[in-house]
Amino acid sequence: MIRAVLDANIHISALLRPQGTPSKVFRLLLEHQAFHLIGSSTIFDEVRRGLNYPRVRRYHSLSVDEIDRWVIALALIAEPTEGRLNVRAVEKDPDDDKYLVAALEGRAGYLVSGDSDLLDLEEYRGVRMITAHDFLRILEQA
């Protein structure tokens, strides 16, 4: 089974744009269990913060409680990781290392992102960095 980490922007985009590629990825996860979602508390905290940013709130009408419920639901369907590895791979934005930590601890084959700092790595210790579009193609072919 495919194992993948989705960065916070993919989670947020899936919620904000129901017809977008990240939403299609989520539908395959929820409706067909097309892959195992790997996550960590630091990733889900970033999703929560992102959904509460004023510039993002303009695009949804969720209350703080609804955002919390959404993030809790994500955490419940994800396989949790501890975040204990010490990884220093994303030089331009070390905060993004949390995604690699989750991917490595969760034995994920993919880290799905739109972040060029992550995508520029292409591969790190067996984890492929790919866009949501490329991941959707992989899921549809599996």
Query: Residue 8 is part of which domain span?
Result: 3-141
Average pLDDT over residues 49-67: 95
Q: What is the CATH number of the domain that holds 99?
A: 3.40.50.1010
The pLDDT, as a whole number, for residue 16 is 94
| Pure H helices in the chain | 8-16, 21-32, 41-52, 54-57, 64-77, 97-105, 116-119, 132-141
Asked if residue 8 has pLDDT above 90, the reply is: yes
Tell me: the pLDDT tens digits for 68-88?
A: 999 999 999 999 999 888 888
The pLDDT, as a whole number, for residue 93 is 80
Bridge partner residues of 111 (DSSP): 5, 129
Query: What is the total count of domains within the chain?
Result: 1
The pLDDT, as a whole number, for residue 68 is 96
Confidence of residue 32 (pLDDT cuts 50, 70, 90): very high
**Cα 91 to Cα 78: distance, rounded to the nearest angstrom:** 27
Q: What is the mean pLDDT of the chain?
A: 95
Average pLDDT over residues 118-124: 95
Asked if residue 90 has pLDDT above 80, the reply is: no
Phi, psi torsion values for 12, nearest 5 degrees: -65, -45
